[in-house]
């Protein structure tokens, strides 16, 4: 009888060792993953605040890529490292999708919203954005906010050198030489209201393509109403009465603290003027430019 109990104890011990001790947390992992997959699959139209009769509509053409992304985020295969060690899989219960922290504004430099949508649905173009806003105020969402669009290219802001991974890209249907329409800006303000609330995006982090890529890019053009956006709480703007900058104010350092890449200082100055002065875009560091840089520097 004693041997029987020893044997029973041994069987229970071996069985308990064979049971996955992480079964409970793996179940939580699977449930959270399923929820996230549903989040990035959601293609429902959303009514924007402040603007009547405009809805965000979602193009279904990215479904194939979405399936690939689903496969990649649920992949749990073991891999063999170069030193011969096998990786193990134990799912954590603490994770979520990326949180966008910037909004980058562009103009399309194309002739119509239809042309831009076509550009973003052709694989060979290798470019995209989360939203496109038409001249008539139409808003088209082309990618879930939690996914990474290819809109920023090479650029940086502060210490962020992979802007696509931390931002939402918004393209405005505009060829770069025409004023932006009231309907378009109203829809943009409505969309920014939603996105800023959804992701708690800092005021200073709503910027233009030209800000993150001085010299290489000039969108959303000198005609873009940055002041209007700042007055509504989206971005910053210089004080009406500019305080004189201190005699020892370092302009290059000030631009870097704001976020600009100053390796090419002239390009950074020009990009700053495109956003915050707009009346002239030379690289000249006159008194007004220095005081304007100082005003924006103080708002960081």
Residues labelled catalytic: 171
| Torsion of Cα atoms, 207 then 197 then 187 then 128, to 10° | 60
Q: What share of the chain is helix, strand, coil (3-state, %, to 5)?
A: 45, 10, 45
Is 102 within 8 Å of 166 (Cβ atoms)? Answer: yes
Of 146, 188, 142, 187, give the one whose Cα is nearest residue 167: 146
Question: What's the rounded Cα separation, in Å, for the pair 255 and 156?
Answer: 13
Tokens representing residue 299 in the block? 């708002």
CB neighbours of 175 closer than 8 A, spacing ≥ 6?
107, 108, 109, 110, 111
55 SS3 class: strand
* Residue with the two structure tokens 């809805």: 55
Question: What's the rounded Cα separation, in Å, for the pair 148 and 164?
Answer: 6
Is 60 within 8 Å of 43 (Cβ atoms)? Answer: yes
Is 264 within 8 Å of 215 (Cβ atoms)? Answer: yes
């Amino acid at each position: 009888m004693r041997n029987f109990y020893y044997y029973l104890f041994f069987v229970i011990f071996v069985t308990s060792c064979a049971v996955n001790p992480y079964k409970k947390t793996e179940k939580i992992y699977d449930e959270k993953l399923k929820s996230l997959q549903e989040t990035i699959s959601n293609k429902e139209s959303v009514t924007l605040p402040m603007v009547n009769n405009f809805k965000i509509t979602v193009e279904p053409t990215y479904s194939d890529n979405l399936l690939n992304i689903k496969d990649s985020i649920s992949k749990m295969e073991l891999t063999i490292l170069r030193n011969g060690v096998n990786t193990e899989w134990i799912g954590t219960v603490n994770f979520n999708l990326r949180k966008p922290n910037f909004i980058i504004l562009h103009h399309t430099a194309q002739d119509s919203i239809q042309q831009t949508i076509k550009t973003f649905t052709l694989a060979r173009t290798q470019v995209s954005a989360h939203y496109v806003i038409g001249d008539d105020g139409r808003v088209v969402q082309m990618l879930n906010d939690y996914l990474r669009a290819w809109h920023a290219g090479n650029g940086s802001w502060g210490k962020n050198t992979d802007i696509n991974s931390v931002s939402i890209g918004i393209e405005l249907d505009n060829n770069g030489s025409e004023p932006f329409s009231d309907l378009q800006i109203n829809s943009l303000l409505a969309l920014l209201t939603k996105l800023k609330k959804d992701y708690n995006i800092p005021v200073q982090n709503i910027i233009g393509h030209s800000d993150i890529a001085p010299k290489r890019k000039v969108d959303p053009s000198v005609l873009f109403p940055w002041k209007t956006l700042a007055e509504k709480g989206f971005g910053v703007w210089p004080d009406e009465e500019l305080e004189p900058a201190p005699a020892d104010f370092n302009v290059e350092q000030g631009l870097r603290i704001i976020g600009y890449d100053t390796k090419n200082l002239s390009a950074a100055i020009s990009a700053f003027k495109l956003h915050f002065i707009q009346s002239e875009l030379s690289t000249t560091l006159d008194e007004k430019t220095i005081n304007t840089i100082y005003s924006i520097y103080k708002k960081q």
